[in-house]
Structure 1
Amino acid sequence: MRICLLTPDPDHPLLAATTALLTPHHQVEWLDPQGCDDFPERFPDPSSLADVYLLKTRTPRALALARYLETHGAPVLNSASATALCQDRTAMADVARRAGLPFVATRTEPSLAPLVAAGEPATPVVVKSRHSRRHDLVARVDDAARLRELAARWPDEPVVVQPFAPNDGWDHKLWVVADQVFAALRRSELADSVPGERTRTFGPGELPAGWADLARRVGEVFALDVYGVDLLDAGGTPVIVDINAFPGIRGQSGAPEALAALALRTAAGSRRPRVPAAP
């Protein structure tokens, strides 16, 4: 089988470990979509296509390449449409809540200016860039002064606004590869800074009842095969605050094996493609 990694960083720990598992019997190559300018010249006929592509980057160029490959019959994990859906936090919240998932209440604003004009917030909120990307805006806002500060730094940024859910200061990070769930606790970037450990890894059997099934349900709704779900424990009730397509899944025993097996099943055509719900 030919497996191609769509990434600028093939040495990422998850990808490197997966490559090591596959290379004894399969051909693994990589392609940085940012350097791929002319798709028809690079892929002149079906024989030039790999058996499966792993989409570990979410730039506009990467999504365009993934769509091109899919149009010409190549399977891509995750699909371009599923990956793009997870980049629009407004669409993400809409799809999740219509599907009955416990996603945090989310409203959209064209910028932070309307919130400043309205004198918000009356209660703590979290503001995030509407369009998820590296180094985007994610911040807790407790008062008008903090909001004015962010508005000055991000004057034209479309945002989503979510109520700050009281919690224990730990994000439950759940990662799923082909329905296999991995989990860890990570100190929330929005929590008060305290000394001590930042990450705690634990087994899916240590999750509260129903949380692993909830993570798998996210994959069904969003048509994702490799993804992450960020959950908060709000008084014993899980609240989804973010969904990520193809996250890093660092340090999780068994994740490379699960990804390698998924890639081979997909390349062999034994995995049935899914389509995400429309926002």
Structure 2
Amino acid sequence: MRICLLTPAPDHPLLADATALLKRRHQVESLDPATVTDFPARFPGPAALADVYLLKTRTPHALALARFLEERGAPVLNSAGSTELCQDRTAMAALALRAGLPFVATRTEPALARLALDGTPGPVVVKSRHSRRHDLVARVDDAGQLRALAGQWPDEPVVVQRFTPNDGWDHKLWVVAGRVFAGLRRSELAAPVLDKGTRSLALRELPDGWLDVVLRVGEVFALDVYGVDLLDDGGAPQIVDINAFPGIRGQAGAPEALADLALRTAAGSHRPRVLPGTV
């Protein structure tokens, strides 16, 4: 089988470990979408296509390439449509709530400066509407903090979420083709701590019903490889974010699960999930 990683960072631990497993019997290559300017010239026909593509980048150019490959019949994990949806926190919240998922209440403002003028009672969590590296995620307790933040990010489109009182730990759950991995990580909204790593969490330590919620996210968002950030709201799960193809660092079995998914998809026994209306 021929497996291609769509990423500028094939040395990412999850990808590197999965590659090491796959290369024993299969061809694995990596392609940085930013280096491909002419899609038809780079992929002139079916023979130029890999058996499966793993989309571990979220730039607009990468999504355009993924769509081009999908249109030519190549399977892409995750689909371009699902990956793009998870970058828009407004669309993410709307779909989750329509599906009955316990997503934190979310409203959208076109610019943070406008939010500061209108004022908003705290505490709330303010995030960039469009998820990306080094985006805005901050807890705001009063009008002074909001004005200061707006001074740094005046034109940033944002979402505003109710702050859920918690113990300062985020529950990080990751899924690869239905296999769930879990961990605890200090919230980026908590007081600074020296240990910013993730502690693995046995699935039996999760409250009843949490696994069902996380697996339902994959169905609703048409994701095969994804992460869900949850807070414990009095024993009930509160979803605060959903990520397509997260890093899943340090989780025993995750590279094996990804390698298995890639091979099954390449062989045609698994078809990537796609959002309704995108096929």
Residue 195 of structure 1 deviates from its aligned partner by: 5.5
Residue 113 of structure 1 deviates from its aligned partner by: 2.1
Provide the residue aligned with 2:135 in structure 1. Answer: 136
- Structure 1 distance, partners of 2:50, 2:271, is 18
Secondary structure, aligned partner of 1:181: strand
Residue 123 of structure 1 deviates from its aligned partner by: 2.2
- Structure 2 distance, partners of 1:21, 1:11, is 14
Residue 196 of structure 1 deviates from its aligned partner by: 5.6
- Structure 1 distance, partners of 2:197, 2:252, is 19
Q: Is 2:248–2:254's contact at 8 Å kept on the other side of the alignment? A: yes
Once the two structures are superposed, residues 17-52 of structure 1 have per-residue CA deviations (whole angstroms, 9 ceiling, x without a partner) of 000000011000000001110000000010000000
Residue 270 of structure 1 deviates from its aligned partner by: 1.0
Query: Given residue 70 of structure 2, which amino acid in structure 1 is its aligned partner?
Result: E
Secondary structure, aligned partner of 2:170: strand
Question: What residue ranges of structure 1 are gaps of 5+ in the alignment?
Answer: none
Provide the residue aligned with 1:28 in structure 2. Answer: 28
Residue 96 of structure 1 deviates from its aligned partner by: 0.3
Question: What residue ranges of structure 2 are gaps of 5+ in the alignment?
Answer: none
TM-score calculated relative to the size of structure 2: 0.96
Moved over 6 A (4+): none
- Structure 2 distance, partners of 1:256, 1:218, is 21
Query: Given residue 222 of structure 1, which amino acid in structure 2 is its aligned partner?
Result: F
Q: Is 1:222–1:277's contact at 8 Å kept on the other side of the alignment? A: no
Secondary structure, aligned partner of 1:250: coil
Q: Is 1:170–1:188's contact at 8 Å kept on the other side of the alignment? A: yes
- Structure 2 distance, partners of 1:172, 1:132, is 19
Secondary structure, aligned partner of 1:63: helix
Q: Is 1:7–1:57's contact at 8 Å kept on the other side of the alignment? A: yes
Residue 112 of structure 1 deviates from its aligned partner by: 1.4
Q: Is 1:175–1:229's contact at 8 Å kept on the other side of the alignment? A: yes
TM-score calculated relative to the size of structure 1: 0.96
Secondary structure, aligned partner of 1:273: coil
Q: Is 1:219–1:225's contact at 8 Å kept on the other side of the alignment? A: yes
Alignment length (residue pairs): 277
Provide the residue aligned with 1:45 in structure 2. Answer: 45
- Residue 242, structure 1, aligned to residue 241, structure 2: yes
Name the Cα RMSD after superposition: 1.2
Change (3 A) 1:196 1:254: closer
Q: Is 2:78–2:272's contact at 8 Å kept on the other side of the alignment? A: no
Once the two structures are superposed, residues 145-204 of structure 1 have per-residue CA deviations (whole angstroms, 9 ceiling, x without a partner) of 111111111111100000101111100000000000000000001012345675321222
- Structure 2 distance, partners of 1:231, 1:88, is 18
- Residue 176, structure 1, aligned to residue 175, structure 2: yes
Q: Is 1:128–1:139's contact at 8 Å kept on the other side of the alignment? A: yes
